[in-house]
Structure 1
Amino acid sequence: MSDQRLTHVTGCWVSQPLPSGEKYRYGMVKMPHGDSGSKLQVSWFMPERYQGMVDASLVGSGFQNGMDVQDATPGTGVRSLGIGSIMQQRILAGSQQVLVDFPESGERHWLPYQHLRQVKGAKHRFITAATGKELDAERMRLRMLAHAIETWNENTGALSHLNIEPLPHQINLVHHILASGNFNWLIADDVGLGKTIETGMLLHALHQRRQIKRVLLITPAGLTKQWQEELYDKFMLDEFEIYGEDFSINETRQWKMHDHVIGSMDRFKQEDHLASLLQAEDWDLIIFDEGHRLSRRQYGQKLDSSDRYALAASLRGKTEHMLLLSATPHQGMQDKFIALLELLRPERRRELMLLSLKPEILHDMVYRNHKADVTDAEGNFIFQGKITRAMKVPASEESQAFDKGLQDYLRRGYAAGVEMGRTGNAIGFVMTVYRKLAASSSAAILNALRNRLARLEKKLNDEHGTDEPVDERYFGEWEEQLATNAKEFFAGEIMLLNELIEEAEQLMHNDCKLQLFIDEVIRKILATNPVEKVLIFTEYRTTQDYLCETLRYHFGEDKVELINGSMGHAERRDAIARFEDHGQFLISTEAGGEGINLQRQCHIMINFDLPWNPMRLVQRIGRLYRYGQKKKVVVFNIHQPDTMDQHIIDLLYDRIDSVVHDMAAVQKDEFNEGLKDEILGELAELIDVEDILQAATLQGIERTRERIDEALRQAQTSIGKQRELFEYAARSDANELRDELQITQEHLLSFVLGMCYQLGIEVAERTHKSKLLRIRLSELVMRELGMSPKASPRMDVTLDRELAAHRPDTQMLDLNSPLMRYLLNKARDYDFGGLAAVVQGDELGEGALFGAMLRWQGLQGKRMREEFVTIQVNEGGAKLNTEAIGQWLLQPAQPAELKPMPEHCKALFAGAESAINQRLASVSNRYLIPENLQWATAGWTI
């Protein structure tokens, strides 16, 4: 009857025909005997109970459909498929096989019945009113926590190895997208809310779920390296390679070696690179950063697509899922916005054409968080408590004389550029750079003018390429090194340069701006607190060196640290560490405008020069004005109103501030500082500041005022349209996770302590307000962790990210930690126990407590979502994920005694099953259908 080449495992159910040949006896294998298990010791249960030996060749499968079984395939190195339920049985070529559904992996396999053993799952134990050693209250609690912790991490990405503390709006966004069953979204969060972090969390969660393998991330040219650094530093996603830098493709088949790729949209849009990319295997996910750069406009019946849009459209067929990131996707242009949405959902093109009539369709394709609404974990607004002070540099004869000469030089330079047409654009660019350097410092413009004169006099021959992609954070530093040709822009330029250089040298001898910086700002800050730490921003390296030299002269060599574009990530990190430890001044170029967070040690910032793009100012302030800042942020902006350019910049900032204040006041009953920052970010993205400033030189100050007002009116209109439409987008909701079991740090700590006690891991000491655990591993645990016998069993562990960051020898117990993974796997293992119990819980009342995994799949059977739910059943009915259960999970469970009646057990279970099915149905939508239900634990409460 059976294939004798297969050995029966203990716990396997077998059957044998009775002598009459009409019926079968059924039993369970207690132990195989003989060569290759040719004899079996079987406990027979039906029709009579007895034990006996039987030849393995005389028995067949005794399993029944619906039985819970465990894959126990023998053999070294064979990993069990886990626990599942029998669905069907068959005989194929004389081999008896059963189809087993494994709910955890979502797989079904035909397996030889001989390699399966029956297990008693939570449902079976509860309905049959199990008693005795099978019941363990504390292990049931720990099993529930293990499932809850794993699932919470998979649904939010919040518990893995993150070098960040995720904020509620970021967790909600990731959860919302993962739970939607559809990964085609436009993430349109306001500037400064962390779209990079949200994307990293989303990628990490999808990796945890094993739902993505191949990812293509396409960014603006200058941001590829920044993305690579951030994904590694914050999320330990170290697989990403930059196309064209870390690797190149010579043959199509080489794409198979690269599953995580970052590339520049301007490189990929080129014909040869795009042709190669389209030959690559399909991607699980394609992400476009700054999606508003994918432009397609409609003129009547004609569509005009940019090369970047054509790139995205070509790639749409190479992936099932596409993410677009953009804080300003609308920009007042409805047709362009619809074109972006069409990339995400080409199948909904007809609906999108009616967007003005049906804006509610945005709810399942656009997600937007507003800066004004963002809070910390305690519900406090993050963006509040900021003071800005304008420090005006007194006028001097030297600065006025220099500015007069500079404006003459600029006018002649711009005029020469305009006269030359398109070929003169380079001259206009150089003029713009010079005026920005002059607004920064006398040292910066003096250095630039000297370099220009040296080129004209053939004393300087270095070249600086202008066709390479430049990281936008370092654009100012790149401008400063810009090489110019060795031909005069206009007649008499050399003579005028000599005069300007002489005036600039006089200006440096009486540098009122530098004197104000030292005497009126730095010294007065230190007079209040001699150890105060100060962050200083400038756009240019020459100005940075100038300030560094001055501060070191006055306050000491070891008090000043620098951050600029020439430094690698590790160098910047070390500079920040020194600043936070014993340093006092950190001078940064725009390289520190993004990606560094100093809010825990510093709350004072000085802008030695104001950036021409107001958005840069928002990003600078964001280094201190962010979650975790305990003090009011104080920002000093140094102005020099006696120069024309600075006057125009001041005018621009004043007008923007006035418009922002008016818009914020109209849109919120209670004024919120965060809303002001949010609108400033939107305005800044829509205003071409450099165009306005260039026009000022050629057309005068009155025309400049008109240009500023005109630009602001257009921006206001665009923002108004965008905000009205985005009212229909999905957004962070405090109730987003209301119906789910939420896991806190307290739950994690309780789980770790409980597992240590169960597994004999000694907790020798708890320090740092109980955040640090000093533990001693048992020999068994060390062996199962694969540790060397000579390794120290002592270990410092913590759940606190900040503590782990400052203690290199302390292991962070996130979900990437080997120890945490070990504890979770142990708690979820069948042999750990805790599938059923009787628990004492006054807060739970009399009734039953269940834990279950719920799973949903997409329309083609691919798993898209899962939840762990707890169900409390008593006289009031069945309730999911109650606050009482969340509190009960925090403390060691107390066992109790009870002799439940099977009929009562069935009634309690039916109530829980009904509530579970309602949850499965309520979450289902056009993208999700129920996949399976797996009971994890079941117990009685008294």
Structure 2
Amino acid sequence: MNSILTPVQGCLIKLEINGGTRYGIVSKLRNDEICVVKWLEADHKNQFSDIKLKDLKPAFKIGMEVQDATPEIGYQRLGRGVIVFERELAGFHQYLVNYEQDNVRVWMPFQHLIPVKNAVARFKRSDISISQIEVERFRLRLLANAIKLWNENTGALSHLDIDPLPHQINLVHHILKTNNLNWLIADDVGLGKTIETGMLLHALRQRDQARRVLLVTPAGLTKQWKEEMYHKFHIDEFRIYGTDFFVNEQREWKQYDYVIGSMDTLKHENHIEKLLSAGNWDIVIFDEGHRLSRRQYGNKYDTSDRFDLASRLRLKTKAMIILSATPHQGDQAKFIALLELLRPERRRDLLQLERNPEIIRDMIYRNHKADVTDRDGKFIFKGKVTKAIAIPTTDEFQEFEELLSTYFKKGYQASQAEGSFARAIGFVMTTYRKLAASSVMAIHMALVKRVKRLEMSHQSVHENLQDLNDERYSGEILEEELSKILNDGKSAIEFFTGELKALKELVEVSRHLIREDKKIKVFIDSIINQILAKNPLEKVLIFTEYRTTQEYIKAKLEEQCGLGKVDIINGSMKHDERINAIKNFEESGQFLISTEAGGEGINLQKSCNIMVNYDLPWNPMRLVQRIGRLYRYGQQKNVLIFNLHQPDSVDVNIIFKMYERIEQIVNDLSNVQAHEFNDGLKDEILGELSQYVDVEDVLKTLTEIGVSRTEERIEEALKNAREAFNVQHEILSYATSGDVEGIRADIQIETKHIESFILGMLNILDIEHTLHIDSGYIRIRFNDLYQQRFKNVLGKASLIDVTLDRNVAVNRKNIHMLDLSSPIMQFFIEKALDYDTGGLCCAICDAENSHINFMTANILKWQDLQGNVVRKQFCIYTYSPRNEYVNPANILDMFTRKLTALNQPVPISLQQANTLLEKADSALQRFMAEKSNQYLMPNDLYCSSIALNLSIK
């Protein structure tokens, strides 16, 4: 039956004749029945023979390296592999081949295999090249392997619209190398949990380990997560349950493999049952995991609906990631419950957590803001200065404050009644207070609308408040909700007797205040003009929570500075509109006014270092997030922050005092924890402390309990926050943090390595190019053959500008980012690793590295408990009579320059070769054993290339 298939050129065969066996390689086919065989034994007279196909037998052996040469059209070849078994089935002789490229084992007919002489086989036979071109191919092959596997293990080189920081790469690398995807990521606020999650998903997708992903977030963050995953990681499959799609039948889940859901939607019984019918997920991620609460009372548990949701989903996945900067919050039982979700098999250990806190080291990963550095080891945070700007008072403003206070008191009294209308009154009062704290224009416009509403009838009825659908625009949403309530049919009725009269008086007084608005005057005269006096081109970022205030500031700035210099960002704008506003601000604009209080994605650190908070948010976490728009990686200057406040406004004054007390506590804590000043530590503590302070509820009760009692309650809240911070800080000191040592064991890739590889491939493929070093790009001219291959990138052009610098790619038009998602880069990697390219075994003469006499480039694999390959690592072994190393420091830098070939033959005996190979094998096996654990077992060790260095110093 074997004669049905035709052997490919190069197929290894044998012929049994006259009681003996001859071995040969198929040279070519004569016809459908006869082929020409080139014999391997040294018989020059009969080197070639015509042999009938039916007489051929396979000559491959188990352990032999082969290459798929399937000739049929429509098949994608599987690449290089190793024979692990053989069989004869129904007359067909087949070999089970373990293929490197796709980590698959396939039964192959022998006719479609050709033998591969790998690096080890060449070295044993002393087939060591001394050709300069072969040495260059060796260098490029080694770099290609290093680049490819570094990207698989970190995701850092793929097409991401981010520039990953060391702490983010370290986190992804650490989690992936453990092969346990059940982790609590407890990074300090502002260190990029979204970026880390996106990088982790990107790396898992490359390994085909993230085919189905469920991301559960607070209600206000679903849209933000979807936008971040798309715009930064090009993961466009995510759909929001309940917004983008609904499911009526179980079979409909097949359409949705990447799902984002609100935890407060999914926790309801009718939704959770639908979700559980979706089947299993490769990974489930919970954002803000501290919202999952289970408390213990004696032997009983009080489990929240959110925690119950997580518990039931835990049974549907092997991998769960929980994100929370504040997972402990001073509550040990709640904290242990979170860890039980992640590692139910460690429940008994977790009950002993107080005695043995170090067990959390393999469950929690925490990066500290105080420790975060850039690639050069420099602290990211350069320092910031905050200045409080007080607004002078006037008699008219005090009169307005007193009138407002009386109005609020009566309104809150009316809100104590039963029913939805009473609740709506309370909402209106709180929103009015926030608007008044923002600007006199904002409260004036709201009061004018209320007067008009009372003076006219309206037909529509809105009984229920709408859910806040995006936490980034909370101030704007309050304005939207206020408008809806005031259009309610019931709102045409006075909230309390005499409301209309009180409103008209407030409107009249506020109208006069607008004409002589001290706050906008101080903003223009004492801040903006002073800034521009020092630098007329200085850029300024301005924050407010409300669109009315935003429009007011915009109009006043344009009066002062002219049109075309002011851009705005708010929640009503589409993503592209916001991007264009930011771009205009960075290029030709001067002022950017944003209502996105803490909106991720507005990162202006490269173009601006001055911020003005026109109003201060009631939630201190939003202020931390605002500051983070400028005070982050890439900021080269000290950040200057101006906070406007009106001491005679009761609400504003209390908020301002709260921020002063928080700052005082932060200073106290940072002095206790650090022996030397570190601005990152202060910011770290501020971010965490702000998570614990829930001041909004306290401020809402101001009119009931008075100013002094309100201040007492805020002080009490801050005291509790400080205690919770201290407890969490102590327990989380045992978490894994900044796994620098772990990543040092890996071959790390930097831009210089990729650039050297690309230029080397351009030269070896004889592709015309020009390097523009100062501008950070390479101009490449492709011939007709390559134009056809890269048609999707080039279009009809032959010229293309490429770069490795993300900043150049963003700021320069018509430039191609040459990352691992680029078809051009993928081709270069594929070509360098192709068996036919060579570079498998050579001898070099490198005096700079004379301490290295022998080296092997290797691919190490680990598997999970069911034999699935889950991790690969690229390793370089080096040897000299004095020492040997696996992945010595900076070894890859040796390959950023061309190496010189040895100009004389290298005689090496089989015994010498075996001795060196055995040393390498032993060292690499020890390395693999050290990196293995109960979840990660050794799978394979493959030598990709070998070099001797016979240089003399």
TM range (shorter): over 0.9
State the match for 1:527 in structure 2.
533
State the match for 1:901 in structure 2.
908
State the match for 1:747 in structure 2.
753
**Inter-CA distance 461–505: structure 2 relative to 1 (3 Å threshold):** farther
Point out the more displaced range, 70-79 or 744-753.
70-79
**Inter-CA distance 398–736: structure 2 relative to 1 (3 Å threshold):** farther
- 1:208 and 2:213 equivalent? no
Whole-angstrom distance in 1 between the partners of 2:157 and 2:914: 37
State the match for 1:917 in structure 2.
925
Cα-to-partner distance string for 1:598-636 (whole Å, 9 max, x where unaligned): 111111110000111111111111111111111111101
Whole-angstrom distance in 1 between the partners of 2:42 and 2:704: 102
Contact 2:597 2:622 in 1 (8 A): no
Shift, 1:387, TM fit: 0.9
The correspondence of residues 235-246 of structure 1 with structure 2, limited to 5 A, is: 235-246=233-244
State the match for 1:475 in structure 2.
474
Contact 1:603 1:632 in 2 (8 A): yes
State the match for 1:804 in structure 2.
809
Cα-to-partner distance string for 1:160-215 (whole Å, 9 max, x where unaligned): 11111111111111111111111111111111111001111111111122222111
Contact 1:847 1:908 in 2 (8 A): no
Q: Which amino acid in structure 2 is aligned with residue 9 of structure 1?
A: V
- 1:354 and 2:360 equivalent? no
Contact 1:844 1:885 in 2 (8 A): no
Point out the more displaced range, 638-647 or 677-686.
677-686
State the match for 1:552 in structure 2.
558
Whole-angstrom distance in 2 between the partners of 1:132 and 1:389: 69
SS in 2 for 1:795: strand
Whole-angstrom distance in 1 between the partners of 2:794 and 2:354: 69
Q: Which amino acid in structure 2 is aligned with residue 45 of structure 1?
A: E
SS in 1 for 2:25: strand
Contact 2:128 2:841 in 1 (8 A): no
SS in 2 for 1:843: helix
Shift, 1:790, TM fit: 8.1
**Inter-CA distance 197–461: structure 2 relative to 1 (3 Å threshold):** farther
**Inter-CA distance 181–789: structure 2 relative to 1 (3 Å threshold):** closer
State the match for 1:578 in structure 2.
584
Q: Which amino acid in structure 1 is aligned with residue 444 of structure 2?
A: L
SS in 1 for 2:188: coil
Shift, 1:316, TM fit: 1.2
State the match for 1:563 in structure 2.
569
Contact 1:600 1:628 in 2 (8 A): yes
Which among 925, 930, 934 is matched to residue 926 of structure 1?
934
Contact 1:330 1:722 in 2 (8 A): yes
Contact 1:564 1:592 in 2 (8 A): no
Which among 777, 785, 788 is matched to residue 780 of structure 1?
785
**Inter-CA distance 570–422: structure 2 relative to 1 (3 Å threshold):** closer
State the match for 1:267 in structure 2.
265
The correspondence of residues 436-835 of structure 1 with structure 2, limited to 5 A, is: 436-458=434-456, 466-481=465-480, 482=482, 483-484=485-486, 485-590=491-596, 593-763=599-769, 765-767=770-772, 769=774, 771-785=776-790, 791-835=796-840
Contact 2:790 2:823 in 1 (8 A): yes
Q: Which amino acid in structure 2 is aligned with residue 927 of structure 1?
A: Y
Contact 1:9 1:114 in 2 (8 A): yes
Aligned residues: 937
Shift, 1:460, TM fit: 6.0
Cα-to-partner distance string for 1:579-604 (whole Å, 9 max, x where unaligned): 11111110000256332111111111
The correspondence of residues 65-464 of structure 1 with structure 2, limited to 5 A, is: 65-132=62-129, 136-418=134-416, 420=418, 424-458=422-456
Whole-angstrom distance in 2 between the partners of 1:45 and 1:109: 31
The correspondence of residues 847-858 of structure 1 with structure 2, limited to 5 A, is: 847-858=853-864
SS in 1 for 2:861: strand
Shift, 1:656, TM fit: 1.2
Q: Which amino acid in structure 2 is aligned with residue 917 of structure 1?
A: Q
Gaps in structure 2 of 5+ consecutive residues: none
**Inter-CA distance 662–58: structure 2 relative to 1 (3 Å threshold):** same
Whole-angstrom distance in 2 between the partners of 1:812 and 1:766: 15
SS in 1 for 2:348: helix
Contact 2:22 2:39 in 1 (8 A): no
- 1:11 and 2:10 equivalent? yes
Q: Which amino acid in structure 2 is aligned with residue 808 of structure 1?
A: K
Whole-angstrom distance in 2 between the partners of 1:673 and 1:661: 10
Contact 1:44 1:51 in 2 (8 A): no
Cα-to-partner distance string for 1:909-937 (whole Å, 9 max, x where unaligned): 22211111111111001110001112111
Shift, 1:467, TM fit: 2.7
Whole-angstrom distance in 1 between the partners of 2:410 and 2:741: 61
State the match for 2:56 in structure 1.
59
Q: Which amino acid in structure 1 is aligned with residue 918 of structure 2?
A: A
**Inter-CA distance 46–214: structure 2 relative to 1 (3 Å threshold):** farther
Whole-angstrom distance in 1 between the partners of 2:335 and 2:743: 30
Cα-to-partner distance string for 1:520-568 (whole Å, 9 max, x where unaligned): 1100100000111110000100000000111111111101000000011
**Inter-CA distance 369–592: structure 2 relative to 1 (3 Å threshold):** closer
Q: Which amino acid in structure 2 is aligned with residue 259 of structure 1?
A: D
- 1:28 and 2:22 equivalent? no
Shift, 1:150, TM fit: 0.8
Q: Which amino acid in structure 1 is aligned with residue 726 of structure 2?
A: G
Whole-angstrom distance in 1 between the partners of 2:591 and 2:704: 40
Contact 2:119 2:944 in 1 (8 A): yes
Contact 1:293 1:308 in 2 (8 A): yes
Shift, 1:459, TM fit: 5.2
Contact 2:802 2:818 in 1 (8 A): yes
**Inter-CA distance 868–387: structure 2 relative to 1 (3 Å threshold):** same
Cα-to-partner distance string for 1:22-58 (whole Å, 9 max, x where unaligned): x5332222223211x5434241439998432221211
**Inter-CA distance 428–96: structure 2 relative to 1 (3 Å threshold):** same
Whole-angstrom distance in 1 between the partners of 2:794 and 2:323: 49
Whole-angstrom distance in 2 between the partners of 1:858 and 1:598: 43
Shift, 1:497, TM fit: 1.4
Shift, 1:106, TM fit: 2.3
SS in 2 for 1:834: coil
Gaps in structure 1 of 5+ consecutive residues: none
**Inter-CA distance 558–459: structure 2 relative to 1 (3 Å threshold):** farther
Contact 1:877 1:911 in 2 (8 A): no
Cα-to-partner distance string for 1:259-302 (whole Å, 9 max, x where unaligned): 11112112222222222111113111111111111121111111
Shift, 1:773, TM fit: 0.6
Shift, 1:479, TM fit: 0.7
Shift, 1:423, TM fit: 7.3
CA RMSD of aligned residues (A): 2.0
**Inter-CA distance 460–383: structure 2 relative to 1 (3 Å threshold):** farther
**Inter-CA distance 690–787: structure 2 relative to 1 (3 Å threshold):** closer
Cα-to-partner distance string for 1:208-255 (whole Å, 9 max, x where unaligned): 222221111111112111111111111111111122222222321111
Contact 1:40 1:56 in 2 (8 A): no
Shift, 1:418, TM fit: 3.3
Whole-angstrom distance in 1 between the partners of 2:437 and 2:495: 22
